[in-house]
Amino acid sequence: MKLKELLETNISNFGEYPFLFFKEKSYTNVETKQFADQFAHGLRKLGINKGDRVMICMPNCPEVLFSYQAITRAGAIIVPVMFTLHPKELHYIAEKSGAKAVITSSYVLANVEKSLEGLVSKPELIVVDQPSSSQVKNFYEVMVQDNGSLDEGVTEEDTAVILYTSGTTGNPKGVLLTHKNLFSNAENSAKHNETERGTTLGVLPLAHVYGLTVSNVCYLTGSSIVVFSSFDIKEVFKAIETYKVRTFSAVPAMIHAMLSFPGADQYDTSSLESVGSGSAPLPVALLHAFEQRFGAKVYEGYGLSEAAPVVTAHRKGIEIKPGSVGIPIPGVEVMVVNEEGEELPTGEVGELIVRGDNVTPGYYQNLEESSRVLRSGWLFTGDMARIDDEGYVYIVDRKKDLIIRGGFNVYPRDIEEILNGHEQVFEAAVVGVPDERMGEEMVACVVKKPGSEVTEEELIRYCQDHLAKNKTPRRIVFLEALPRNGVGKILKTHLRQTASEIVIKP
């Protein structure tokens, strides 16, 4: 199946219904298709053809979803980009992808225009909320009324999306995702979760594969989606009450914000049954606290861009194992291997590898990196994990975040779980820094709860009471907030720089 068929099948199966809510506006699924068809013909008139790349860079809004469906209808390739990126990062992606058009909004237009300076071939610049001028074209003025066919020759094996990774460890890589990758992942995610028809919240960035998949699942299940341009905590609670939301997907930072919001009790959240959590590790203490306060289950899962993205998840009807990311969704296989790529026994920690229709065929114009992570049909994730005797997966840490202290492997998440359980700690992240004597030492970066006066010495003693000596952090650094990317993932590269400035005495 191709991505354009998501919307067509949706209309065929469910008829016309309000599909998309945004601020004071609503759009039916039929209206969404009409906008997508007309914009697709407009793109074709601008010279956008099969295989051409079209970049979308703006906050969540209806036009993002219209654009996604339009681009696939034109046979072109979606290049979703976080609008929070620096112009230099946007320039890199525009240049490397060879984008023939960029769709944006006035909110980020200045940055986008700056990012396009110096490009040999300037892409068409389309703005959703600004009149046409000599520099830009208005989104709705690009639309063309035409009943002709569009995506001739496009197959499910063709690239649908090039998703540039966050680039926290260097320049971002363009993950190729085919129509089959994305369609199968949305379909199997819906099956795994036994997703029922209803209204969900689109709080995740649609520029991220997690948010994109949530919208794809809505097409398959006949659901509606309330799209947010930013995570406004009051509006989120208001939407849960207004639309009687039963379930939605989020990242741990959003779950944390909901739990910490003092005005939560003013809203009726009794309809809420579950929240899916992904993109970053969910502290066990946060899971328990959220479930206790809201009476809703938290189903933690795991995925990555290269797997389109969902690999494992908890779901209704199976045991929730705190600290685990659940079991593989249908159509996905997982295995834990050693450095030689050999499968490890149950319970042993190694690198998690993944196989299935959801796995990327590689990176755009990067054969070397593609061959490094894709071997014999398996995707090597770079995540360290273990699998228990019931098939539940436990992500221990990123391979690159492993700390080797005095020759012993230490996984930061073990320490983070302990610190996040302290009553005066808001959140914590642990990184390794170079140390002359031990090779690496551990520094815990901690954000205190409001009004807390907990000291470094107290937290170190607390860790010593709960952890082996070699796992106790040497220093505690107190910060106002932990640095995060656009989907709430903690930027440990930034934290390492901060921690490295601290002199660790032998």
Q: Are 119 and 261 part of one and the same domain?
A: no
Q: Are 382 and 463 part of one and the same domain?
A: no
Q: Distance (Å, rounded) from C-alpha 213 to C-alpha 305?
A: 11
Name the nearest CA neighbour of 334 among 280, 380, 370, 389.
380
Q: How large is the average pLDDT for residues 444-452?
A: 95
Q: Are 293 and 157 part of one and the same domain?
A: no
Q: Are 117 and 58 part of one and the same domain?
A: yes
In a domain, 206, yes or no: no
pLDDT at 468 over 90: no
Q: How large is the average pLDDT for residues 176-184?
A: 98
Q: Are 343 and 368 part of one and the same domain?
A: yes
* Of the residues 346, 363, 398, the one at which a domain ends: 398
For residue 473, what is the domain's CATH number? 3.30.300.30
* Of the residues 138, 156, 176, the one at which a domain ends: 176
Q: Cβ(285)–Cβ(291) under 8 Å?
A: no
- Three-class DSSP category at 308: coil
For residue 278, what is the domain's CATH number? 3.40.50.12780
What is the overall mean pLDDT for the chain? 94
- Look up residue 122 and give its DSSP letter: P
* Of the residues 398, 421, 437, the one at which a domain ends: 398
pLDDT-derived band at 483, boundaries 50, 70, 90 = very high
pLDDT at 15 over 80: yes
The reported pLDDT for the residue numbered 506 is 46
For residue 31, what is the domain's CATH number? 3.40.50.980
In a domain, 293, yes or no: yes
In a domain, 68, yes or no: yes
- Three-class DSSP category at 95: helix
Q: Are 118 and 47 part of one and the same domain?
A: yes
DSSP per-residue string spanning 423-484: TTEEEEEEEEEEETTTEEEEEEEEEEPTT----HHHHHHHHHHHS-GGGS-SEEEE-SS--B
Q: Distance (Å, rounded) from C-alpha 34 to C-alpha 60?
A: 20
Q: For 407, what's the count of Cα atoms within 13 Å in the CB-facing half-sphere? A: 0
Helix residue spans in 18-176 (DSSP H): 29-45, 62-73, 87-97, 109-115, 139-142
By CB atoms closer than 10 A (0-12, 13-18, 19+), residue 167 is middle
In a domain, 189, yes or no: no
Q: Distance (Å, rounded) from C-alpha 404 to C-alpha 265?
A: 45
Bridge partners, 21 (sequence order): 26, 226
Q: How large is the average pLDDT for residues 182-204?
A: 95
Q: How large is the average pLDDT for residues 102-110?
A: 97
* Predicted confidence (pLDDT) per residue in 220-275, tens digit: 999 999 999 999 999 999 999 999 999 999 998 899 899 999 999 999 999 999 99
The reported pLDDT for the residue numbered 470 is 83
In a domain, 301, yes or no: yes
Name the nearest CA neighbour of 383 among 369, 395, 371.
395
Q: Are 457 and 440 part of one and the same domain?
A: yes
pLDDT at 503 over 60: no
Q: Which of the pair, 124 or 436, is modelled with greater confidence? A: 124
Q: For 349, what's the count of Cα atoms within 13 Å in the CB-facing half-sphere? A: 13
The reported pLDDT for the residue numbered 168 is 47
The reported pLDDT for the residue numbered 136 is 96
The reported pLDDT for the residue numbered 166 is 66
Using the structure block, give the residue that is written with the tokens 């009726």.
Answer: 268
* Predicted confidence (pLDDT) per residue in 140-178, tens digit: 999 999 888 887 789 999 999 999 986 544 678 999 999
The answer for residues whose C-beta is within 8 angstroms of residue 265's C-beta and 6 or more apart is none
Q: Cβ(40)–Cβ(71) under 8 Å?
A: yes
In a domain, 211, yes or no: no
Q: Could you list the residue range(s) of the whole structural domain that residue 124 is in?
A: 4-10+21-176
The answer for residues whose C-beta is within 8 angstroms of residue 216's C-beta and 6 or more apart is 3, 6, 182, 183, 186
By CB atoms closer than 10 A (0-12, 13-18, 19+), residue 205 is buried
The reported pLDDT for the residue numbered 288 is 94
* Predicted confidence (pLDDT) per residue in 48-65, tens digit: 999 999 999 999 999 999
In a domain, 247, yes or no: yes
Token pair listed for 471: 């796992």
Q: Cβ(123)–Cβ(115) under 8 Å?
A: no
DSSP H or E run through 497: helix 492-500
pLDDT at 7 over 60: yes
Q: Cβ(120)–Cβ(91) under 8 Å?
A: no
Question: What percent of the chain has a predicted confidence (pLDDT) above 70?
Answer: 98
Q: Distance (Å, rounded) from C-alpha 159 to C-alpha 166?
A: 20
Q: Are 387 and 410 part of one and the same domain?
A: no
Q: Are 273 and 319 part of one and the same domain?
A: yes
Helix residue spans in 351-488 (DSSP H): 367-373, 412-420, 456-466
Q: Are 123 and 57 part of one and the same domain?
A: yes
pLDDT at 406 over 90: no
DSSP H or E run through 130: none
* Predicted confidence (pLDDT) per residue in 329-344, tens digit: 999 999 999 999 999 9
Q: Cβ(225)–Cβ(28) under 8 Å?
A: no
Domain count within the chain: 3
In a domain, 195, yes or no: no
Q: Distance (Å, rounded) from C-alpha 443 to C-alpha 499?
A: 6
Q: Are 161 and 260 part of one and the same domain?
A: no
Q: Are 316 and 438 part of one and the same domain?
A: no
